[in-house]
Structure 1
Amino acid sequence: MQDLPDDDTWNADRRRAIGENIRKERCRQGLTQDDVWMAAHLTRWTIQRVESGADVKLSTLLRIARALDVPLADLVR
């Protein structure tokens, strides 16, 4: 098992990477943020927060993955 660092910067970096993966997949599919938030039954603000690396619930990530029709694992790698 790996010990966690003393600070949480790794966590913020990882959230930003996940948000970037979501944005890239959305753009690859030619979708707008509006397309995704409407399909995922979320708010526009939520999609903006996720793509910017905010802390979000697992259920939100699952909704986005389903709306994009990709496995969650593809978005969090």
Structure 2
Amino acid sequence: MRDLPDDETWIADRRRAIGARIREERIRQNLTQDQVWQAARIDRRTLQYVEAGQEVKLSTLLRIAHVLDVPLPDLMG
């Protein structure tokens, strides 16, 4: 078992990396943000927050992964 680092910057770094992978996959599939947020039935700002690395719910990530047809662990890294 590993100890947590003293600060929580690693969490923000991981969220940004997840957001970048989602954005990269969306672009690779030639999808717009509008197409993804509508298909995932989430708010437009929510997808923007996800891609920017903000805090989001697991259910939101599951919806996006489903729409992109990518296993969630692949997006998580």
TM bucket, shorter chain = over 0.9
- The CA deviation at 1:16 is 0.1
Partners of 2:35 and 2:68 lie apart in 1 by: 10
Does 2:12 match 1:12?
Answer: yes
How many residue pairs end up in the alignment? 77
**What is the deviation of 1:75?**
0.3
Give the Å deviation of 1:11. Answer: 0.2
In structure 1, the residue matched to 2:49 is 49
State the TM-score, normalizing by the size of structure 1: 0.98
**TM-score for both structures, normalised by structure 2:** 0.98
Q: Deviations over 1:11-64 (max 9, x none)?
A: 000000000000000000000000100000001100000000001010000000
Aligned partner letter, 1:50: V
Q: Which runs of 5+ in 2 are unaligned?
A: none
Deviation >6 Å, runs of 4+: none
For residues 35 and 75 of structure 2, what CA distance do their matches in structure 1 show? Answer: 17
**C-alpha RMSD over aligned residues:** 0.4
Structure 1 unpaired stretches of 5+: none
Report the counterpart of residue 35 of structure 1 in structure 2.
35
2:34 corresponds to which letter in structure 1?
Answer: D
Residue identity matched to 1:70: V
